[in-house]
Amino acid sequence: MCTGTVLYEDQNSDFVWNALKLKFSSGITFKELRSIALVIESQLDIPKIPRDAKRSFPLLLKWFGNNWSVIQPILSYISFYDDSYDFDFDFYQFHHFHLYLILN
């Protein structure tokens, strides 16, 4: 019987998933989460995302969990916007503080 609950490899992944849902909504997709991870990986001195984690939701959550002490403090600076978002005002005011992820 499927209850809609996703089982993770460990409790830390469950904690991380709840924190990410709180920040980005429960509607965040694997593709969006992977985009966040790739940008974070490129900007911080943390271990690279393993190849399998780029293809697996539970493994990607485990990567977030393994690096949570570094990732968690910067989550408040990450925002999602779609292609129609007007950056003129926002970018001028916040360009030093926000990481913008443009999603198609």
Residue 9, pLDDT > 80, answer: no
Residue 92, pLDDT > 50, answer: no
As a whole number of angstroms, the distance between CA 51 and CA 100 comes to 24
Is the dihedral angle over the CA atoms 6, 100, 81, 48 positive or is it negative?
Answer: negative
Instruction: Please give the residue range of the domain that contains residue 51.
Output: 11-76
| Per-residue pLDDT tens digits for 20-72 | 998 887 778 898 899 889 989 988 899 999 999 999 999 999 999 999 999 99
Residue environment code for 89-99, b if the CB has 16+ CB neighbours within 10 A, otherwise e: eeeeeeeeeee
Query: Which position has the higher pLDDT, 38 or 79?
Result: 38
Query: Which position has the higher pLDDT, 100 or 26?
Result: 26
Is residue 84 a part of any domain in this protein? Answer: no
pTM (2 decimals)?
0.70
From first CA to last CA, the distance across the chain in angstroms is 34
Is residue 18 a part of any domain in this protein? Answer: yes
- Residue keyed to tokens 């849902």: 21
Q: How many domains does the chain have?
A: 1
Is residue 28 a part of any domain in this protein? Answer: yes
Q: Is 51 exposed, middle or buried (0-12, 13-18, 19+ CB in 10 A)?
A: exposed
Split at pLDDT 50, 70, 90, the class of 76 is confident
Is residue 96 a part of any domain in this protein? Answer: no
Query: Which position has the higher pLDDT, 90 or 57?
Result: 57
Is residue 60 a part of any domain in this protein? Answer: yes
